[in-house]
A and B are shown apart, each in its own frame.
Chain A
Amino acid sequence: MKRILSGILCGALITGLFGGCGGETGNVGANAVGTAKNESAADTAEEETQPKGEAQVIRIWHDGDEAIMETIAEEVNSILEDDMVSVQFEKKTGLTDQLQLYGTDEVNGPDMYFYAHDSLGTFAELGILAPITDLITEKDEGYLLPMTVEAGTYQGIQYMLPVYYETLLFIYNQDLWEGEIPDTTDGLYDYMTAHTDTEAGTYAVLNQHSTAYNVAPFINGFGGYIINENAKPGLNDAATIEAITYNQKFAALQADGDYNTINTLFLEQKAAAIIGGPWLISGINEAGIRYGIKSLSEFTLPNGEKLAPYSGIQGVGVLKYAAENKKDAVSKVLLALCDESVGVALAQKANCAPANQQSYADTDVVDNEMIMAMRETAETAQPMPNIPEMSVMWGPTESLLAAVNKSGEDVQTAAETYQKEAETAIADMH
């Protein structure tokens, strides 16, 4: 008891004293920040000739590909050149956690963030986001694909402006694949059994077989679900179990299913095909592989349905304080992001499928095999759920997949176990 008391006393004393010297150290910190800012201003001045006066910089946090962000920044900044507004992307690993800390911190936090839509509900519930429709009108967004806008909407309010979307694709090595690409998943499996030699380390089709996002095409195709719109987990749903059981035999022929492993196998030409997203393409090009692409919605499951991957919609959200204090600048950035030229640039440079339908008028976009495959997939694809409960579903779902595919557990019992875990996790949120 004495110790606890002295501990608390110490704490009180220390906070007092610490507050006292906080002023001084605060100055040091402010200086450091000041110089850093000067330097970064100098950096940008070197890179591009700034228009008269100082442009208002809108800071956007992201946790994605630097090249993609650069493309967006370039395009937006050139549109906004005369408006004295510019955007600056800053990479933040673990963005969802970081936004929880900094989402109400106007001094240190960002003005906007750029991320996939599946964590939208989390941010919206935190109350850190401003509705997009407060800043731009519906007319401004008229050309956006309805599916993408819907993905950016949580509980009837649109919090995210979609910029591009991505889905999983079937990517194959034209020099390794023998014959035609089958049109059914059973055909795919037959090809895999005939062309896989795990001992020699050569594979036919690879997939991250224990990653929820990569198994979702099967789960959705079988009519199962990871979580439904009522926040009910569906891991022990009969259709989900059927899908996981079906995926199991594929998994046995797909190495350990780790992102790095299967990606490298494909790049080293030890695998004829991989189920992956557009983010793999730059590596594939570097490796000099002649690749071909097929939409996952062109594969038919035994039940007659098509594979139905999740689609991930990438876009920006606006932090509340930025919407209040920098309304004009933020609105201008949003308008610029709606411009079809952003979508075209993204398509040309990074194989991203634009959310803006007008971008598809561009010949480069229409000729891009990958983007058109994603557009086609989007017909059957389901946007990932964006309710906050989704954020706790990845863990149990992947535990279930790993237990079945890697540790050889019984599907039925594992499904019950992890369904329960998911239910507890959701209950724990409240």
Chain B
Amino acid sequence: MRSKRKAAPWLHMIPAFLLIGAIIIFPIVYTAYISFTNMNLFHWDDYSFIGLNNYVRALFKVDTGFLSAIGVTLIWTVLNMGIQVALAFFIALGLNARGLKLARFYKTLLMFPWAMPAYVSILLWKVGIYNSEFGLANKLLGLFGIDKINYLSRNVPAFISCMVLNLWMALPFMIMTFDGALQSIDKSYYESAKMDGAGFWVSTLKITVPGVRPVMTPAVIMTTFTTFKQFDIIYLLTQQKGSLSGATLQTVITYAHQNAFVSNNYGLSAAVSMIIFVLIIAFSLFMNRGLKEEA
């Protein structure tokens, strides 16, 4: 009886772990295996073990370019997450305001960007908004008589452009999660707070924030990682083959892609992947405080 009780939680997890094992863990293990071989264009089927050779070469790539890529990635993650969480929180609060009859309507509209496949949104923005000749952004500027701007040709404007797009794409999920989290707070708390004469800010700080925290923590952490590993936006906006925009913005992932993956050297790129994985583990240890439960 006792042992059954002990095994119970693990039994619950078998199906999930089977899936995760096959789709997430096995590929990582396999990639680690490839990283010790010389699998590349010239040794496609006849690859052999070459020990840590690939790692030595990969670590040589840890040059100034790579270090600045780490810096860009951190700034990118922090800025995006900060703005995203703050904006989403207040928007969700607004949506849950008493007496806002159109809340459902607004919510649906605000979800629209989420409903679009990522590459479609990115191309839409690239051509429809940021394009220097036809983009909406420059057309609107034109209405005010301001000269055309090339949004993607230099690093700082390109970074901001990518960030705006990322916020546009990511906010709907945040708003929706905050909205769900707000629903989980017992309304009676607010009633009694009101009795005690607490104002909006006080009840927000004392009831809402602690109330949404347990639900939001995992969502925020996971979004942080998604932001950290964001590739499509920066790649498609500024580095797509045949239409480089001129900006040389690099995050860790785009840097790795440009430096290891285009060369079709699978051993080397696997080693780079493993190094990125180690970086992510380090990053998550750093973030770990966030996961501590308030139990």
Binding site for B on A (CB under 8 A): 7-8, 10-11, 13-15, 17-18, 100, 104, 122, 125-128, 198-199, 201, 208, 210-211, 255-256, 258-261, 264-265, 388, 391-392, 394-395, 398-399, 401-403, 405-407, 424-426, 428-430
Contact = CB atoms under 8 A, between A and B. Distances in A.
Interface string B16-32: 01100110011001000
Nearest to B30: A11
Contact of B264 (A100, A127, A256, A260): A100
Contact of A259 (B42, B154, B242): B242
A430 B150 contact: no
Contact of A402 (B246, B258, B264): B246
B40 A430 contact: yes
B224 interface: no
Contact of B131 (A122, A258, A398): A258
A127 B260 CA distance: 22
B25 A10 contact: yes
Contacts of A199: 147-148
B3 interface: no
Contacts of A430: 40, 42, 265
Given A10-B25, A18-B22, A406-B245, A126 B44 contact: yes
Interface in B106-138: 127, 131-134
A-side interface mostly: helix
Nearest to B135: A261
7 contacts: A8-B29, A127-B44, A256-B131, A264-B134, A395-B241, A407-B153, A407-B247
A193 B153 CA distance: 23
B184 interface: no
Given A125-B41, A388-B264, A425-B263, 6 more contacts: A7-B25, A201-B133, A256-B150, A391-B262, A406-B245, A429-B40
A338 to B, nearest CB: 30
Contacts of A424: 259
B268 interface: yes
Contacts of A405: 246
Contacts of A426: 263
B283 to A, nearest CB: 17
Contacts of B22: 14-15, 18
A27 B262 CA distance: 36
B26 A11 contact: yes
Nearest to B131: A261
Given A11-B25, A255-B133, A425-B263, A210 B246 contact: yes
Contact of A210 (B40, B45, B147, B244): B244
B17 A14 contact: yes
A14 B16 CA distance: 11
Contacts of B133: 201, 255-256, 261, 264-265
Nearest to B19: A14
B248 interface: yes
B243 interface: yes
B248 A407 contact: yes
**Closest CB pairs A-B (n = 8):** A406-B246, A14-B21, A428-B263, A402-B244, A406-B153, A402-B246, A407-B246, A429-B263
A210 B25 CA distance: 41
Interface range on chain B (Cβ under 8 Å from partner): 35 or more
B64 to A, nearest CB: 12
Contacts of A256: 131-133, 150, 153, 245
A406 to B, nearest CB: 3
B100 to A, nearest CB: 41
B247 A395 contact: no
A104 B46 CA distance: 13
Nearest to B60: A424
B241 A394 contact: yes
A314 to B, nearest CB: 17
Q: Which of B41, B242, B259, B260 has the most CB of A within 10 A?
A: B41
Contacts of B247: 407
Given A7-B25, A127-B45, A260-B127, A18 B246 contact: no
A264 B128 CA distance: 13
A429 B264 contact: yes
Contacts of A388: 41, 264
A401 B246 CA distance: 8
B18 A18 contact: yes
A424 B63 CA distance: 13
A9 to B, nearest CB: 10
B20 to A, nearest CB: 8
Contacts of B127: 260
Interface string B171-211: 00000000000000000000000000000000000000000
A402 B26 CA distance: 40
B21 A122 contact: no
Contacts of B132: 255-256, 261
Nearest to A429: B263
Q: Which of A14, A127, A260, A394 has the most CB of B within 10 A?
A: A14
A61 B179 CA distance: 47
B120 to A, nearest CB: 14
Interface in B31-67: 40-42, 44-45, 57
Interface string B134-151: 100000000000011010
Contacts of A13: 21
Interface in B239-275: 241-248, 258-260, 262-265, 268
A18 B27 CA distance: 14
B44 A10 contact: no
A399 B25 contact: no
Contacts of B18: 14, 17-18
A70 B62 CA distance: 48
Contact of B134 (A11, A18, A211, A261): A261
B244 A398 contact: yes
A399 B153 CA distance: 11
Contacts of A402: 153, 244-246
Contacts of B262: 391-392, 395, 425
A17 B19 CA distance: 11
Given A14-B18, A127-B44, A199-B147, A399 B248 contact: yes
Nearest to A17: B18
Nearest to A262: B133
A324 to B, nearest CB: 15
A236 B16 CA distance: 54
Q: Which of A8, A259, A406 has the most CB of B within 10 A?
A: A406
